Amino acid sequence: EANLPSDEKKELLMLFETLRHPNIVSYRHFIQTAETLYIVMNRCLGPDLVDHMQASGDLSMSSVRDFARQILLAVSAVHKHGMMHRDLKPENFRFRDPSATFLQLLDFGSAKPSNDL
């Protein structure tokens, strides 16, 4: 859900429609009510990063490096695309499937376009 002025909603939608990256959940479509824009994205079937870390216990250094790399790639792609996510936290990174190897950034409810990045 994004409560934004009309021009920001349009800009955000245009950005979402073209944002494609393997570490970012894919945009499907949007639903707009009188005052709210809902962004519908693909579903990730794996656990979020917090649940995975709690279930796995100690992570190997290799896993930590791989997860950090995927997180940085996702954030970099969002910024290069002229957007700010504005709610980065481990709960907003979810594994695409139960194999828990491929992280995707989701929950763009606080996202805003940015011309400053």
Single-letter code of the amino acid located at 2: A
C-alpha dist (Å) from residue 55 to 7, 61, 110: 43, 17, 28
In the residue annotation, 87 being an active-site residue is answered as yes
Q: Which of 48, 58, 87, 116 is catalytic?
A: 87
Beta bridge partners of 23: none
Of 90, 92, 91, nearest to 111 by C-alpha is 92
Catalytic annotation, residues: 87
